[in-house]
Amino acid sequence: DRYVAICKPLRYHLVMNEKLCIQLALGAWISGIPIQIPQTCQIFSLHFCKSNQINHFFCDIPPIFKLACGNTFLHELSVYVVVVLVAAIPFMLILVSYSKIVSTILRLSTAQGRAKAFSTCSSHLLVVILFFGTASITYLRPKSNQTAGMDKLLSLFYTIVTPMFNPVI
């Protein structure tokens, strides 16, 4: 959306039509299904012998692993792989599009136009970095650095704070 608005402004209404927006939304929702079903099945295959109370705001994968008995290394490894694929690839694509946006903005002839374009995109980029940063830190941190309090704080950012900024940007 931002890329087309800045880099191809005259084509915006042709490219970002209702059909494409629906396809993008459906694609985002549907692409999560083949990722979450195997992880859910992995959780169901774990054995639990400790407390059944999760020290977290919601039922997330890392806190569930803390309740499991036995070796969860392979399960945790699969979560790392999924996070790298699901977070790193979109984040890199966003960074590529923003590099093109920045180069387009720098070629604008007026300082006022550059300032307006930067202000339009900077809030979105900040929210993207906040979301991907906190989610990646949550799932990619070494187990030795994980504390329940920090996990809760980070999860607040990528589940509540970031979506709260969505209407603003």
> For residue 133, is it within any domain?
yes
Copy the structure tokens of residue 55: 């020290």
> For residue 7, is it within any domain?
no
> For residue 49, is it within any domain?
yes
What number is the average pLDDT over the span 155-165? Answer: 83
- Residue 104: give the domain boundaries: 33-165
> For residue 126, is it within any domain?
yes
What are φ and ψ of residue 36, in 5° steps? -80, -30
Copy the structure tokens of residue 41: 């099945």
- What is the predicted pLDDT for the residue at 5? 80
> For residue 74, is it within any domain?
yes
Summarised one tens digit per residue, pLDDT across range 13-49 is 888 899 999 999 999 899 889 988 988 888 888 888 8
> For residue 121, is it within any domain?
yes
> For residue 24, is it within any domain?
no
Predicted TM-score (pTM) of this structure: 0.72
The domain total for the chain is: 1
> For residue 10, is it within any domain?
no
Q: CA 143, CA 76: separation in Å to the nearest integer? A: 10
Confidence of residue 145 (pLDDT cuts 50, 70, 90): low
What number is the average pLDDT over the span 150-158? Answer: 83
Summarised one tens digit per residue, pLDDT across range 40-87 is 888 888 888 877 788 878 888 888 888 888 888 888 888 888 888 888
Count of C-beta atoms within a 10 Å radius of residue 117: 20
